[in-house]
Amino acid sequence: MARIAPAALSLALMSNGCTPPDTSVVLDNEYPASATRPLVVYRAYWQAVSFDSPVPPGSSSAAEPTVPASANTAYAVLAPGWDPKSSTAPSSFIVLQSEAGFSVQLDGTLYIRVDDTTFIGNCAAGRFLTQSQADFITSLVFPTLFAGKHYDAATCTTTPMGDGAKR
């Protein structure tokens, strides 16, 4: 059976007067805004969607277009106590990984809830990543953000790597 590319399918549907499918994903920051050090979702990634705009606690990202997908792990980087309106970058991070994968059907919207019940990695909540999980996330998912830095999963701290330091 021949496969039809998504763009060709959308064009064919529009030329026939049909509305193309609208499949999207939204990131919901479910951490409380009233916390002493609010947890801002600084960056996140799911399947092939990168969330590059910070999402303050109690807020949601804009809907990002995606394609239907089976369950995929989501990743997030929190910036504790950081003000998204600040002109300076955050000074500390918390790296998270979803406990289960998220999926979305054709013409559906996936809502990824970021909190300590759906993600692991927040040391303050006692939900730790292994160091190998943290290394995977910092090296392969968010390499630019963690370039020249080492993230310690046991303490949720980021330190600069010295000359000759190994990751």
pLDDT, tens digit, 9 for 90 and up, residues 45-66? 999 999 999 999 999 999 999 9
Tens digits of per-residue pLDDT, 78-108?
999 999 999 999 999 999 999 999 999 999 9
3-state secondary structure of 86: coil
Whether pLDDT at 7 is above 60: no
**Angle 135-47-45 (CA atoms, 0-180°, nearest 5)?**
55
| pLDDT confidence of residue 162 | 74
CB 42 within 8 A of CB 78: yes
For residues 23 and 15, the model is more confident at: 23
| pLDDT confidence of residue 34 | 87
- pTM of the predicted structure, to 2 decimals: 0.86
Phi, psi of 163 (to 5 degrees): -60, 130
| pLDDT confidence of residue 137 | 98
Whether pLDDT at 4 is above 80: no
Burial class (CB in 10 A: 0-12, 13-18, 19+), 100: exposed
CA distances to 3, 52, 73 from 142, rounded to whole Å, are: 33, 11, 14
